[in-house]
C-alpha cells in the first residue's frame, strides 16, 4: 500500500512526488518506529555540563547576548583582537542548543545564500562578497586548527545533483564548461553517491566544509573560556537600557553593565524592537539513520564524504557522519519549510510527523539498496528567515549596541563573518566591512499577521507549483522576485 500522500497528475509530478506515492506506508512506519526526538548532534554524552547562571551585578567592556555560533564567534574574535578586553556572554538556555546544534553541519563559503541571490540583491558588491566569503571559510578552518577544535571539520565540498530531467541543464550551468572534471553525468555522479534518482551532478569542491555543529559550539565555548570570556547559561536577557556609562542588560537574577553590547539572538525576538518584523521563524526538519552495516556502506559508495543537495525549490540536503564507534550514518533533511501563524518559536514546533514521513519516504526511494534501513533520530528547529535570505545588521543606543540576524539557514560559516562586522560596528571606526552595502542596507520587513502567514502560504504553493512545472515560476513568485522577496534555492 502506498504512503497515501496526495500527488499531482503523472505529467506534472516531480521525482519525489512519485517516490512519495510509491513507498509503502508500512515501510515508512517501520523506519521511524524507534526514533528519538533529541537532535542527533546534541544527543552526546560529551556535552559539557551547564555553566552557572548570572547572579548579581557584573561590569564588562563587551556583553554578548546569545550562545550560538554568532555569539560565540563574537566573543572569541573580541578576545583575539584585544586579550585584555572584558567579555561576558549570556545565553538563555544552553550553549548551542538552538539552530547551532540542530543544523545539518554544512559550512558554506557564501555570505549571501548563493551567487544568484547575491547578484540579485547586491550585484555590484557580489564579487567582493564572494572573496570575503571564501576568506572567511579559510580563516574559520585555520581557527579550528589553531585551537585544536574537535568538531569533525572536513573541507569536502557539496555534490549538487539533478533528480528531474529539466535540472540537468542547471547542473551544466554550474560548471566551468563541458570539460570541467567536476561536472558528472549519471554514471559519474552515481560513482560518487549511488542512487538511481541522480541524473547528473556538479561537485562544488572549494565552497563547503562539513562538521559536527554541536561539537563546534562546545569547542567554541571551551576556547572562549580559555581566553577569559565569562559565560552564563540559563540567563535570558529580559531588558536592555542605556545609562550614562553604557548599556545595562537585565536577567532574572542579575544585571550586566557593559560599555558595548553585541546581540546574536537570531530567530528569537530582538531586543531592538524595530528589527522584529525583519525575520520570521521557519522550521526545518531532519532525520539521522541508524548505523549502516558494512554491506550497506559498500552499496552506498559515498567514499569522499561530500555534502549532497538537490536543486528543487524544496530541496533536500544530506551528508554522512561517523558516530563515536566509527560507524557510518546518513543525515537527510530539508524539503518542507514550515511557518506557524504568529511568528512564534515554540518547543512543540520542533517536531512535525508529516514532514518526518515525507523525508523518510524520499530517503528510502533515493537509496533503495539500503534495504530495511531505519532512523534513530528525527528533529527540527527554527531558522531566522529574512526576505533577502542573508544576514542583516543594525546598531542602537548611540552605536553602543550592534546586532545581527536573518542568516536563513546559512549561518554555520557566515556567523564568523558577522562577528567581525559587529565588532567593527562597535569600534566606531569605518572599515572595509562597515562600508559594505550588505551591512548598511536592510531587507524588506515582513508584514504583520495575518498577512505574513498568508504570504508564506502563497509562496510555498508557488514553489511547489514551480517544481511541478520544470522550475517555471508563476505570477506570484514573479511579483515577489520583482520586489526583492523571492526565493530561489
User: H or E element: which one contains 455?
Assistant: helix 451-467
- Per-residue confidence band for 130, with pLDDT thresholds at 50, 70 and 90: very high
> Quick one: average pLDDT of 206-212?
95
Contacts of 461 (CB under 8 A, 6+ apart): none
pLDDT at 471: 73
| pLDDT for position 460 | 85
| 4 has pLDDT over 50 | no
Share of residues in the chain with pLDDT > 70 (%): 96
Give Cα 87 to chain centroid, integer Å.
Answer: 26
pLDDT at 488: 55
What confidence tens digit (pLDDT) does each residue in 85-119 have? 999 999 999 999 999 999 999 999 999 999 999 99
pLDDT category at 485 given cuts 50, 70, 90 is low
When pLDDT is averaged across residues 56-64 and rounded to a whole number, the result is 99
Q: Cα dihedral angle (480, 483, 484, 487), rounded to 10 degrees?
A: 10
Q: How many whole angstroms separate alpha carbon 239 and alpha carbon 307?
A: 41
Kindly give the pairing relationship between strand 375-385 and strand 239-243. unpaired
Q: Any idea where the domains of the chain sit in the sequence?
A: 56-150+211-279+387-440
Which pLDDT belongs to residue 469? Answer: 79
pLDDT of residue 5 exceeding 50: no
Distance (Å, whole) CA 485 – CA 445:
9
Average model confidence (pLDDT) across the chain: 94
Taking residue 51's Cβ as centre, other Cβ atoms within 10 Å add up to 19
Q: How far apart are CA 282 and CA 352, in angstroms?
A: 12
Please tell me whether residue 47 adopts helix, strand or coil conformation: coil
**pLDDT > 90 fraction of the chain, expressed in percent and rounded:** 87
CA distance 434 to 475: 37
Q: What is the CATH number of domain 56-150+211-279+387-440?
A: 3.50.50.60
State pTM to two decimals. 0.95
486: confidence class by pLDDT, cuts 50, 70, 90: low
Q: What is the pLDDT of residue 417?
A: 99
Give 430-467 pLDDT, tens digit per residue: 999 999 999 999 999 999 999 999 988 888 888 888 88
Place of cell 541543464: 169
pLDDT recorded at residue 22: 96
333-368 pLDDT tens trace = 999 999 999 999 999 999 999 999 999 999 999 999
Q: What pLDDT is attached to residue 193?
A: 98
Distance CA 351, CA 285 (A): 8
Q: Is the pLDDT of residue 312 over 50?
A: yes
The answer on pLDDT for 3 being more than 90 is no
Closest CA to 329 of 432, 155, 167, 212: 212
Cα separation, 170 vs 3, in Å, equals 30
Per residue in 136-155, pLDDT tens?
999 999 999 999 999 999 99
Q: Are 342 and 1 in contact (CB under 8 A)?
A: no
Cα–Cα distances in angstroms (integers) from residue 450 to residues 105, 457, 478, in the given order: 33, 11, 22
Ranking 63-77, 215-229, 456-470 by mean pLDDT, the lowest is 456-470
State the DSSP code for 36: B
DSSP string spanning 188-203? HHHHHS--TT--EEEE
Amino acid at each position: 500500500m502506498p504512503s497515501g500522500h496526495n500527488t499531482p497528475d503523472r505529467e506534472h509530478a516531480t521525482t519525489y512526488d512519485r517516490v512519495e506515492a510509491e513507498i509503502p506506508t508500512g515501510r515508512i512506519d517501520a523506519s521511524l518506529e524507534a526514533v528519538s526526538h533529541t537532535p542527533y548532534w546534541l544527543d552526546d554524552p560529551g556535552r559539557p555540563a551547564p555553566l552557572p547562571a548570572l547572579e548579581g551585578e557584573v561590569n564588562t567592556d563587551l556583553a554578548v547576548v546569545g550562545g550560538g555560533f554568532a555569539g560565540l564567534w563574537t566573543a572569541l574574535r573580541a578576545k583575539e583582537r584585544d586579550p585584555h578586553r572584558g567579555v561576558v556572554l549570556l545565553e538563555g538556555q544552553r550553549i548551542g542548543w538552538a539552530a547551532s546544534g540542530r543544523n545539518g553541519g554544512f559550512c558554506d563559503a557564501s555570505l549571501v545564500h548563493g551567487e544568484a541571490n547575491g547578484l540579485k540583491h547586491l550585484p555590484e558588491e557580489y564579487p567582493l562578497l564572494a572573496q570575503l566569503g571564501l576568506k572567511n571559510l579559510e580563516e574559520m578552518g585555520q581557527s579550528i586548527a589553531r585551537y585544536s577544535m574537535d568538531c569533525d571539520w572536513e573541507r569536502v565540498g557539496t555534490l549538487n545533483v539533478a533528480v528531474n530531467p529539466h535540472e540537468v541543464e542547471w547542473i551544466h550551468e554550474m560548471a566551468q564548461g563541458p570539460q570541467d572534471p567536476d561536472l558528472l553525468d549519471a554514471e559519474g555522479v552515481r560513482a560518487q553517491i549511488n542512487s538511481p534518482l541522480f541524473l547528473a551532478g556538479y561537485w562544488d569542491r572549494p565552497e563547503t566544509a562539513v562538521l559536527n555543529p554541536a561539537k563546534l559550539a562546545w569547542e567554541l565555548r571551551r576556547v572562549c573560556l580559555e581566553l577569559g570570556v565569562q559565560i552564563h547559561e540559563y540567563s535570558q536577557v529580559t531588558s536592555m537600557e542605556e545609562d550614562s556609562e553604557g548599556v545595562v542588560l537585565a536577567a532574572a537574577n542579575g544585571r550586566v553593565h557593559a560599555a558595548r553590547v553585541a546581540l546574536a539572538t537570531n530567530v528569537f525576538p530582538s531586543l531592538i524592537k524595530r528589527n522584529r518584523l525583519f525575520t520570521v521563524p521557519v522550521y526545518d526538519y531532519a532525520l539521522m539513520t541508524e548505523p549502516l552495516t558494512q554491506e550497506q556502506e559498500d552499496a552506498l559508495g559515498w567514499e569522499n564524504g561530500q555534502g549532497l543537495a538537490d536543486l528543487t525549490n524544496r530541496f533536500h540536503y544530506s551528508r554522512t557522519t561517523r558516530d563515536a564507534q566509527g560507524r557510518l550514518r546518513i543525515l537527510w533533511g530539508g524539503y518542507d519549510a514550515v511557518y506557524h501563524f504568529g511568528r512564534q518559536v515554540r518547543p512543540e514546533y520542533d517536531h512535525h510527523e508529516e514532514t518526518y514521513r515525507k523525508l523518510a519516504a524520499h530517503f528510502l526511494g533515493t537509496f533503495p539498496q539500503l534495504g530495511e534501513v531505519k532512523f534513530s533520530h528525527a528533529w527540527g528547529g527554527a531558522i531566522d528567515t529574512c526576505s533577502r535570505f542573508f544576514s542583516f545588521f543594525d546598531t542602537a543606543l548611540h552605536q553602543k549596541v550592534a546586532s545581527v540576524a536573518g542568516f536563513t539557514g546559512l549561518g554555520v560559516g557566515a556567523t564568523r563573518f558577522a562577528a567581525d562586522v559587529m565588532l567593527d560596528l562597535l569600534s566606531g571606526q569605518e572599515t572595509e566591512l562597515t562600508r559594505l552595502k550588505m551591512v548598511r542596507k536592510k531587507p524588506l520587513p515582513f508584514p504583520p499577521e495575518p498577512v505574513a502567514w498568508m504570504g508564506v502560504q502563497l509562496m510555498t504553493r508557488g514553489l511547489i507549483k514551480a517544481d511541478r512545472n520544470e522550475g517555471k515560476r508563476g505570477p506570484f513568485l514573479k511579483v515577489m522576485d520583482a520586489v526583492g522577496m523571492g526565493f530561489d534555492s
